[in-house]
Structure 1
Amino acid sequence: MRFRIDDAIYISVNDANFLENAIYTYSRGAILYGLIGALAVVIFLLIISVLKPWGKRKKDND
């Protein structure tokens, strides 16, 4: 993912018509898809940790 961010920054700084460059728009789209995927995983983990559909842990009394 890091190389896509570096490519997008390099193209946006060095290319005058970066919005017309297919590589930039692809990199930008890939970054957005990655961001959406990462947020979805974090939200899923947050919800699953709050709801705990498997129930609470039982305490073992030895």
Structure 2
Amino acid sequence: MGWGDKIHNAAGKFHGRGKEAAGAATGNDRLKAEGRSRQFRADLKQAGEKIKDTFRKH
């Protein structure tokens, strides 16, 4: 996984945490769900990059 991808995924996860926290602070369930969704997508992208890296090594 390239550094750019790592930074992008980390930023997406961080943004998701912020949205989830903002939703919790305001009582906005939709915003909390969006935050969790963004974090989940970032985790999936990171896992996909790790799998690609594993196949590139072999």
2:50 counterpart of 1:43 = yes
Instruction: Name segments (4+ residues, structure 1) moved above 3 Å.
Output: none
Deviation at 1:32, TM superposition (A): 0.6
Cα-Cα RMSD: 1.5
Counterparts of 1:31 and 1:23, CA distance in 2: 12
Percent of residue pairs bearing the same amino acid type: 5
Residue matched to 2:35: 28
Q: Which runs of 5+ in 1 are unaligned?
A: 13-17, 52-62
In structure 2, C-alpha distance between the alignment counterparts of 1:48 and 1:25, rounded to whole Å = 35
Task: Tell me the TM-score normalized by structure 1.
Answer: 0.52
Distance 2:55 2:40 in 1: 22
Deviations 1:17-61 (A, max 9, x none): x3221011100010011000000000000011002xxxxxxxxxx
User: Which is helix-richer, 1 or 2?
Assistant: 2
Identify unmatched segments of 5+ residues in structure 2. Answer: 1-14
